[in-house]
Amino acid sequence: MPKKLITLISVFLIMGLVFTGAGLVNEASAGSPKRLQVAMISEPASLDVHLVPDVPSYWVIEQTGNRLVRFNESMELEPELATSWEWIDDLTIEFTLREGVTFHNGEPFTAQDVKFTLERRLDPDLGSPNMRFVQEIDLDTIEVIDDYTIRFSTSRPFAPILNNLAHSSGVILNQKAVEQYGDEYGQNPVGTGPFKFVEWSSGDYVLLERYEDYWEGPAKVDELQFRFIEQASNRTIELETGRVHIAEDIAPSDLDRIDNHPNITLLRDLDLMVSYAGMNNKREPFNDVRVRQAMNYAVDTEALVEAVYEGLGQKAQAPVNYTILNPGDQAGEIKQYGFDPEKAKQLLAEAGYPDGFTFTAITDPFDQRVNSAEIVQAYLSQIGVTMNIEIVEWSVLLDRAGNRGDYDMMFLSWTSSSGDPEMATRPFYGGAHGAAGNRVWYQNDRVDELLELGMQEPEWEQRWEYYMEAQKIIAEEAPWIFIQFGEQAIGVRNEVTGFEIHPNSRHRFHKVDIVN
């Protein structure tokens, strides 16, 4: 067959794929449901909100349930299942609940559901991985005043409690449904949200349908399908060919391609994530602050972000993401580590390592972390430091870093999805070491004191002062190589309306529509 003919046939086949794909997501012809298809990076672990800590699970759970309070797209708190709240004293808060709300099984929402949800979440026998968000609530104080009023106290002043309740893990459950499904509840969730669960095809998708009696009014589309597409390149292809309407986590290498596509809009926004290389602060040589500072001076993190993330996000300028704790006029008071290899060598010599040293860094197989490790490895070689890289499974990394402290350096990232500086500081830099969060085993008594004060102080202006002082100390002592503040990149086909990117990656689809 002539080469020219083969080329023409290939073109027609590709065009056919595009047109066929476009048809697949726009099947809302007469008599068929209008289905919104969304490409996710991975499959949920469970749809039982008390058993999961992962974003893919929350993506689905957010559509099927509601919390007492929620964040809007500016990360401001607003009412959801609670219409208002009042502080009775420094420890006690009372919520007035929304009337006329029903669960997907027809059960009315009442204060008893809130009490059941809090008690289940705090049950040590359940072992919820997100118990920490509400662990300051005193179980003995949870009191149902009437069907639409509930009150409880914290064991000590705890300023972030509303932010923590607004976290995705705060979805309210129906006791009857949880008891009915038992161990199978994670595959049969029942909530008060705009979409109700229909089907979970393992390895493929979760299908939801519109809940007609939703208290904010029914959703715009009939069905919402989340498809699990791990490879970023495949998500891009599915978006381009019209097989999905929305694709999350567009790869840096595909940003220009999506941005220039005539039928797709690329949405970008800084988020709440920070990526870092954590050093084991209790192990030589990283127990010496001069060595930790030298690591930061040795790496051109601005160039690293450009190379690995291709401009997505920005160089980390502080221990806490600026989206959470913006230093404003005090930004210049936070120690900055510009690229200065000679300064790095000087600090190493002062610490007793004029000829460098050898160590091993661990990372999971995630491409961006592996690529970051390789670039850090190359930079450190320029100051005489040899960094070996060991790639381990995610669970192994967490065990070695959190439970055993068995590592020299690790590459990780963290999203402070409560939007509060408490979540961005105390788990990382506070006194609870290891699996509790402070996996770099950093210790500073003044920082511990400031983080405790910040956690308890109700007035934001004073809280900000405490966290800023702590941030300045942490930056000076450099427990991490501060790498990147994150940024989301989401591709949305032009026939989609009403979608808004959310800073904590928990997007809502209640008002999203498809216009043909």
How many Å apart are CA 118 and CA 126, to the nearest integer?
A: 12
Q: In whole angstroms, what is the distance from residue 491 CA to residue 46 CA?
A: 25
The class of domain 33-45+56-62+193-263+494-516 in CATH terms is alpha beta
CATH number of 66-182: 3.90.76.10
What whole-number distance in Å separates Cα of residue 492 and Cα of residue 512? 11
H-assigned helices in 300-386: 301-309, 341-350, 367-381
Closest CA to 454 of 489, 429, 486: 429
Spatial distance between the Cα atoms of 219 and 211, rounded to a whole number of angstroms: 7
Distances (CA, A) of 117 to 52, 130, 142, 143, 158: 15, 13, 11, 13, 20
**Among 67, 47, 69, residue whose Cα is nearest residue 56:** 47
pTM of the model: 0.86
| Sign, Cα dihedral of 178, 184, 190, 194 | positive
Contact 45, 206 (CB under 8 A): no
Q: By the 8 A CB rule, do 418 and 159 touch?
A: no
Phi and psi angles of residue 476, each rounded to the nearest 5 degrees, phi first: -65, -35
Return the domain boundaries, the chain.
33-45+56-62+193-263+494-516, 66-182, 271-487
Q: What are the CA-CA distances from residue 130 to residues 54, 170, 451, 455 (Å)?
A: 10, 9, 20, 18
Kindly give the pairing relationship between strand 513-514 and strand 496-497.
antiparallel
Rounded Cα distance, 516 and 504, in Å: 30
Q: Please choose, from the candidates 285, 251, 299, the residue with its C-alpha nearest in 3D space to the C-alpha of residue 411.
A: 299
Instruction: Identify the burial level of 265 via C-beta atoms within 10 angstroms of its C-beta, where 0-12 means exposed, 13-18 middle and 19 or more buried.
Output: middle
Count helices and strands (H / E) in the chain. Answer: 15, 19
Question: Could you identify the residue written with the tokens 């919820």?
Answer: 128
- Which helix (H) or strand (E) segment holds residue 58: the answer is helix 55-64
Can you give the pLDDT at residue 15?
Answer: 40
Per-residue pLDDT of the chain (516 residues; tens, 9 = 90+): 443 333 333 333 344 444 333 344 544 455 689 999 999 988 999 999 999 888 889 999 999 999 999 998 888 999 999 999 999 999 999 999 999 999 999 999 999 999 999 999 999 999 998 888 999 999 999 999 999 999 999 999 999 999 999 999 999 999 999 999 999 999 999 999 999 999 999 999 999 999 999 999 999 999 999 999 989 999 999 999 999 999 999 999 999 999 999 999 999 998 999 999 999 999 999 999 999 999 999 999 999 999 999 889 999 999 999 989 999 999 999 999 999 999 999 999 999 999 999 999 999 888 889 999 999 999 999 999 999 999 998 778 888 887 788 899 999 988 888 899 998 998 889 877 766 568 899 999 999 999 999 999 999 999 999 999 999 999 999 999 999 999 999 999 999 999 999 888 789 999 999 997
Contact between 240 and 261 under an 8 Å Cβ cutoff? The reply is yes
Give the pLDDT score at 506.
81
What is residue 47's three-state secondary structure?
A: coil
Cβ distance 509 to 499 under 8 Å? yes
Could you list the beta-strand ranges (E) of 364-460.
Answer: 386-391, 409-415
Question: In the prediction, which pLDDT does 119 show?
Answer: 97
Q: What is d(CA 172, CA 43) in angstroms, rounded to the nearest whole number?
A: 22
CA distance linking residue 398 with residue 290, whole number of Å? 26
Q: What pLDDT is recorded for position 434?
A: 66
Measured CA to CA, the distance from residue 324 to residue 327 in angstroms comes to 10
pLDDT value of residue 29 = 53
Instruction: Report which of 395, 458, 364 is spatially closest to residue 92, judged by C-alpha positions.
Output: 458
**How many other CB atoms are found less than 10 A from the CB of residue 404?**
10
Angle at CA 93, nearest 5°, toward 92 and 98?
155
Smallest CA-to-CA distance from 276 within 248, 331, 315 is with: 315
Q: 3-class SS at 286?
A: coil
Q: Residue 11: exposed, middle, or buried by beta-carbon count in 10 A (0-12, 13-18, 19+)?
A: exposed
Q: What is the length of the chain?
A: 516
What pLDDT does 435 receive? 60
Pick the CATH number of 271-487 from 3.40.1110.10, 3.10.105.10, 1.10.1740.10, 3.30.70.3270: 3.10.105.10
| Alpha-carbon separation of residue 484 from 94, 268, 415, 513 (angstroms) | 39, 16, 12, 34
In whole angstroms, how far apart are CA 66 and each of 80, 102, 425, 488, 514? Answer: 7, 11, 27, 24, 24
Three-class secondary structure of residue 387 per DSSP: strand
Measured distance CA(232)–CA(247) in Å, rounded: 9
Report pLDDT for 19: 38
